[in-house]
Structure 1
Amino acid sequence: MGACDMVTDANVSSGFESNTTGTTTFSMPGWQLALWAAAYLTLVLVAVIGNATVIWIILAHRRMRAVTNYFIVNLALADLCMAVFNATFNFVYASHNIWYFGRAFCYFQNLFPVMAMFVSIYSMTAIAADRYMAIVHPFRPRLSAPGTRAVIAGIWLVALALAFPQCFYSTITTDQGATKCVVAWPEDSGGKMLLLYHLAVIALIYFLPLVVMFVAYSVIGLTLWRRTVPGHQAHGANLRHLQAKKKFVKAMVLVVVTFAVCWLPYHLYFLLGTFQEDIYCLKFIQQVYLALFWLAMSSTMYNPIIYCCLNHRFRSGFRLAFRCCPWVTPTEEDKIELTHIPSLSTRVNRCHTKETLFMAGDVVPSEAANGQAQDG
């Protein structure tokens, strides 16, 4: 959470990933601790169930296996792991101010949050890039299945490299009899290494990808909503295809905006702490940290809700996944949505639809296969 008068010879610093709570012991009434525990437990349960369901919907149904949806699987996996490992264990650490989980898990806990956040936001960036190519440049070559797997593997490898310094400098210390998991950066003049690392990480896993996605979705929006040739309007299947693309773009823009809003206060908190470390010694800082950390971690549970609300096919998948619940009644249409593979004539017609709309200057949808996987 932050370092406040740490009793150690090392230059111990917190950083937004470092899980250090210092000596500001978490002291609050039992009922208040119970409320925080309930809030975090709800977050973890919703995130795990929701993201696991999204992964099942895509991987268990052939019709959902498109390039964009594989990036959604990667995003859901990162969010699920973030909720399980970071939200759960960091809350326990912050609430007791003692590290119970050993040296090996201390390394992991200082490595994985940065990795998972990097994977999350760059999966969103990959989705934006895929939609940009499909809608703005529909006749250029698209990512193949091996290419998609290579991009996903590359995202994880770069994430590992970016997070490695946090893991490398992690250590276990004892402060007034309490075990701490901290990141002990090498001593240098004014902590420049720590500051540069934090600024680089925040730039790479927050500001840079958000700028890229803002530009990509702005161009996509202009392409989808413009009307360059008067008198050429989409009708019937063409109109439905256009509306489906708009809905999908709206859903992904909402995913990106939600991520940005949830994480911004957390980043600002630790940027402020980098320049003014005494804020970690304030009496109410534990409450502030728990609130900001919950808001940041809550980004892991919103995406499945957004998919379910804004995408017809995902909504059908959720109804099928929760059909054992008495208040959920899937229909035959829900099964068809996820299991029916369009005929060759339908796919040819969709390709013709795409070319017709493109020539009309009305909209440039993605290729037929991706359109089938993402209509909603």
Structure 2
Amino acid sequence: MGGCTIVTDANVSSDLGSNTTGITAFSMPSWQLALWAAAYLTLVLVAVTGNATVIWIILAHRRMRTVTNYFIVNLALADLCMAAFNAVFNFVYASHNIWYFGRAFCHFQNLFPVTVMFVSIYSMTAIAADRYIAIVYPFQPRLSAPGTRAVIAGIWLVALALAFPQCFYSTIIMDQGATKCMVAWPEDNGGKMLLLYHLAVIALIYFLPLMVMFVAYTIIGLTLWRRAVPEYQAHGANIHYLQAKKKFVKTMVLVVVTFAICWLPYHLYFILGSFQEDIYCHKFIQQVYLALFWLAMSSTMYNPIIYCCLNRRFRSGFRIAFRCCPWVTPTEEDMIELTHNPSLSRRVNRCHTKETLFMNGDVVPSEAINGQAGGPQDGVPTEP
């Protein structure tokens, strides 16, 4: 970007370094640095612990291994990596505007953040697509376990391809004695290549998937809230399944909205900077960037909290995972939630419900169809 930009995702340079002592024009007082460090450390600890626990809950319990939950694992893994790598190292860079981590990690730091952000939002998109098919077209075949793995692998490959140009042009420079990690884009007319790349990335990892999810969840919501269970079927089990789907939709909509709110100011910051580069020359821009970056990174710690608050099985999983804490006491019901398989009579009743609703022209709950990825489709996102 411009000639005196404050550090960002290691993709912009700064010409305000002062000397070889490691002090730049963007160095801050020690008390400010301590406060920011505490804020970022809290974020990283909550995000890494929460997302690691989500991954354990799903992978360690067979009942939890469903198509939707595999995408949740992918989302949690991306969020964990974003917090552990991007948040930590980018904060250190932004706090002094000096790059301490060498050339190889400079390339990595310009590859990984874009990659894991793409993986995060397209894992959410895959969940929305999976729920769309299950609820709007319940008799369509669902993804198999190999198909789910192929989709996840495809998301990672496309994400790496999208981030590769920024990684390829990464370089280390010495600016008035201060080491900087920047992206040295080829010379072009007025920086159009850089602007087009940034706009394309923001469109692909933010606006486009959010539009897709908005449409998908709107249709899902209309389908669920218009659905009526026939009177002779209006007993506890059928009403429970319908309520469970509605609760899952609310949960995922909250996840998506949280992501959108956290990342919007950060993207607007770069869009504005692309058209008005002199804003990066102001001393206050460091504090603005650190605040916007913290808000964006905080999206990595909210999902486990949302799952724990809104889903009974996740709540049980968290109690079991943190049973060593004196204020956490898991119960026998918590173990049953994660390990108990539906009885044969319950499965027969669900299949009977499916056939009856089909004969009466109603949309069948997707949970009536057995899963193809290691367990029933009502695994985690819905209440049992």
Q: TM-score range by the shorter chain?
A: over 0.9
TM-score of the two chains, using structure 1 as the length reference: 0.93
* Residue matched to 1:186: 186
Deviation at 1:64, TM superposition (A): 0.2
Quote the Cα distance in structure 2 between the aligned partners of 1:362 and 1:20: 59
Identity %: 83
Deviation at 1:344, TM superposition (A): 2.8
Equivalent position SS for 1:172: strand
* Residue matched to 2:373: none
The residue identity in structure 2 corresponding to 1:289 is: Y
CA distance 1:64–1:228, change in 2 (3 Å): closer
Q: Deviations over 1:286-324 (max 9, x none)?
A: 000000000000000000000000111101000000000
**Contact preservation (8 Å) 2:28, 2:95:** no
Map 1:275-354; keep pairs closer than 5 Å.
275-354=275-354
Q: Deviations over 1:92-123 (max 9, x none)?
A: 00012111100000000000000000000000
* Residue matched to 1:5: 4
CA distance 1:111–1:251, change in 2 (3 Å): same
* Residue matched to 1:238: 238
CA distance 1:348–1:266, change in 2 (3 Å): same
Deviation at 1:362, TM superposition (A): 5.9
Q: Deviations over 1:129-150 (max 9, x none)?
A: 0000111101011100000000
Deviation at 1:342, TM superposition (A): 1.6
Unaligned segments of structure 2, at least 5 residues: 17-23, 371-375
* Residue matched to 1:374: 381
* Residue matched to 2:29: 29
Quote the Cα distance in structure 1 between the aligned partners of 2:167 and 2:106: 8
Quote the Cα distance in structure 2 between the aligned partners of 1:20 and 1:362: 59
**Contact preservation (8 Å) 1:224, 1:362:** no
1:152 to 2:121 alignment: no
Deviation at 1:363, TM superposition (A): 5.2
The residue identity in structure 2 corresponding to 1:67 is: V
Deviation at 1:346, TM superposition (A): 2.0
**Contact preservation (8 Å) 2:3, 2:13:** no
Quote the Cα distance in structure 2 between the aligned partners of 1:19 and 1:188: 16
Deviation at 1:192, TM superposition (A): 1.0
Shifted more, 55-64 versus 196-205: the winner is 196-205
CA distance 1:231–1:270, change in 2 (3 Å): same
Quote the Cα distance in structure 1 between the aligned partners of 2:357 and 2:216: 21
**Contact preservation (8 Å) 2:316, 2:337:** yes
Shifted more, 27-36 versus 84-93: the winner is 27-36
Quote the Cα distance in structure 2 between the aligned partners of 1:59 and 1:220: 27
Deviation at 1:348, TM superposition (A): 2.5
Quote the Cα distance in structure 2 between the aligned partners of 1:235 and 1:15: 56
Shifted more, 240-249 versus 299-308: the winner is 240-249
Q: Deviations over 1:222-257 (max 9, x none)?
A: 111114688577321111111111111111110000
* Residue matched to 2:59: 59
CA distance 1:66–1:327, change in 2 (3 Å): same
1:211 to 2:211 alignment: yes
TM-score of the two chains, using structure 2 as the length reference: 0.92
Deviation at 1:66, TM superposition (A): 0.2
Q: Deviations over 1:312-365 (max 9, x none)?
A: 110100000000001111110000000111233322222333444455566542
* Residue matched to 2:11: 18
- Number of residue pairs the alignment of both structures matches: 369
Quote the Cα distance in structure 2 between the aligned partners of 1:263 and 1:68: 24
Quote the Cα distance in structure 2 between the aligned partners of 1:43 and 1:110: 21
CA distance 1:165–1:337, change in 2 (3 Å): same
Q: Deviations over 1:132-181 (max 9, x none)?
A: 01111010111000000000000000000000000000000000000000
